[in-house]
Amino acid sequence: MPSSPADRLRRVTDRLKDRFVGRDEVIDLVALAVVAGEHLFLFGPPGTAKSLLVREFAGAVRCRYFEYLLTRFSEPNELFGPVDLARLREGVVATVTTGMLPEAEFAFLDELFNANSAILNNLLTVLNERVYRRGAEAHRLPLLSAFAASNHLPEDDALQALFDRFLLRCKVDALPRPQLPALLAAGWAIERPGKPEPGADADDGLTADDLRETARRLREVDLSGVLETYADAVAKVRDLGVALSDRRAVKVLKLVAASAVMCGRTAANPSDLWVLRYVWDRIEQIGPLGALVSGALDRAGPADAPHPRAARPEAVDAEALAGELAAAERELAAGPKLVDLARLRERVQAVSDRAAWVTDATGRSHLLGTAGKLLEKLG
């Protein structure tokens, strides 16, 4: 009996997890995004395998892929294709889109917030409507999902509108020291001469059409069992200061349904609310949001066929986290000129993120509060 597209997708993600050490979270979110037909933003420093991972995923699916590094000087032609000069001589404005973003099924835009005004409006339409317009022509795009990365978040309103098009947001950090040996071994396996092309070793035959077929199953998912719990969670997410508008709250239901589909279910259950961890606007919201969602999942109790992301991570040592925060406070007290404030802020933010998984509510609240005050001082 042939395997289903969801089964083949699972095998693709399992293979990628074997190759990319410590990136299970990102891989699961890439898969979730393409099934839901939504876009994923990856926040983190260069060199954390963000573009390579998306490229390898696209290769495994054997779909049309477009990747571009945006600068302040990038022009629309570089993304959407040049004007067809032969047609222009005939008085017709047409675009040569071969190999460009309008023909892509997966797209990766690096340094997203370098997008200038010449590109911005087109990108907004592409991401929201899957349409590219130039003059009188309009191209319906086959885009499944767009992925983007940056090491900073938007500050002005125009770029905030672009950020808003990415329903999923994931913070990608450099791997911790204990994972470095495994990272180096896996990285060398990818880089060494003669390595296979992306997806060349795949035997599942997963295609972009398979992903579209999987996405169509979202309409059949019964959400009635989670709507009340979800509505309560949305209210609490908003109380944290996350800008989860009514429109975005409805769109997140696509992620809930996609989680159910990926688990082989036709009905959503409370475990699918794990997706709410990834709707943050600012990095200081990540820890509190994770704690809120974990609490909701704990109260809901065990669920049938939960998504792996719904599980709690391994136990977190609250005392060790408190020690890290105390050390950070001492360093800051020694004088801002004597420490690297950006690096210290990263350390405190990492502690805040891990504190979200502390099981004791009182200890978790204390750690998050202490980390929050330190982050305020660090600016």
Tens digits of pLDDT across the chain (379 residues): 567 888 889 999 999 998 888 899 999 999 999 999 999 999 988 888 899 999 999 999 989 999 999 999 999 999 999 887 776 677 667 788 899 999 999 999 999 999 998 899 899 999 999 999 887 788 899 999 999 999 999 988 889 999 999 999 999 987 666 666 766 677 667 676 555 544 444 446 789 999 999 999 999 999 999 999 999 999 999 999 999 999 999 999 999 999 999 999 999 999 999 999 999 999 889 888 988 898 888 888 888 889 989 886 655 778 888 888 888 888 888 776 666 777 788 788 778 877 776 767 788 888 888 888 888 887 7
Q: Are residues 99 and 247 in the same domain?
A: no
- The position carrying tokens 């066929």 is 305
Q: Are 78 and 63 in contact (CB under 8 A)?
A: no
pLDDT at 126: 95
Q: Rounded CA gap, 82 and 185, in Å?
A: 42
Q: Rounded CA gap, 349 and 282, in Å?
A: 11
pLDDT at 200: 43
β-pair type (106-110, 145-150): parallel
Q: Are residues 227 and 89 in the same domain?
A: no
Q: Are residues 246 and 322 in the same domain?
A: no
Distances (CA, A) of 95 to 86, 91, 92, 123, 281: 11, 13, 10, 16, 35
Q: Rounded CA gap, 55 and 270, in Å?
A: 32
Q: Are 53 and 106 in contact (CB under 8 A)?
A: no
- Length of the chain as a residue count: 379
Other beta carbons less than 10 A from residue 267's beta carbon? 15
Q: Are residues 306 and 325 in the same domain?
A: no
Please name which of 295, 287, 285, 357 lies closest in space to residue 320, comparing C-alpha atoms.
357
Please name which of 164, 142, 271, 276 lies closest in space to residue 211, comparing C-alpha atoms.
142
E strands in the chain: 40-43, 65-69, 106-110, 131-134, 137-140, 145-150, 168-171
Q: Are residues 38 and 165 in the same domain?
A: yes
The answer to whether residue 9 is domain-embedded is yes
Q: Rounded CA gap, 243 and 55, in Å?
A: 30
Q: CB under 8 Å to 36, separation ≥6 — which residues?
A: 167, 215, 218, 254, 255, 257, 258
Distances (CA, A) of 105 to 81, 153, 179, 231: 16, 25, 33, 33
Q: Are 190 and 19 in contact (CB under 8 A)?
A: yes
The answer to whether residue 260 is domain-embedded is yes
3-state secondary structure of 111: coil
Q: Are residues 253 and 334 in the same domain?
A: no
Q: Are residues 174 and 74 in the same domain?
A: yes
Q: What is the pTM of this model?
A: 0.83
Q: Are residues 227 and 183 in the same domain?
A: no
Q: Rounded CA gap, 59 and 137, in Å?
A: 30
- The position carrying tokens 């095998």 is 11
Q: Rounded CA gap, 375 and 37, in Å?
A: 35
Instruction: Provide Rg for the chain, Cα atoms.
Output: 22
Q: Are residues 31 and 80 in the same domain?
A: yes
Tell me which of 283, 310, 337 is where a domain ends.
310
Tell me which of 277, 310, 343 is where a domain ends.
310
Tokens representing 31 are 């898969």
Q: Where are the alpha helices (DSSP H) in 192-340?
A: 208-216, 227-239, 246-262, 286-300, 318-333
Q: Are 10 and 262 in contact (CB under 8 A)?
A: yes
Tokens representing 166 are 């990415």
Q: Give the structural domain span for 275.
A: 221-310
The answer to whether residue 229 is domain-embedded is yes
What phi-psi label fits residue 171: left (phi over 0), alpha (psi between -120 and 50 degrees) or beta?
Answer: beta
Q: What's 184's domain CATH number? A: 3.40.50.300
The answer to whether residue 214 is domain-embedded is no
Tally the domains of the chain. 3
The answer to whether residue 371 is domain-embedded is yes
Tell me which of 279, 310, 341 is where a domain ends.
310
Q: What is the DSSP letter of 139?
A: E
Q: Are residues 284 and 370 in the same domain?
A: no
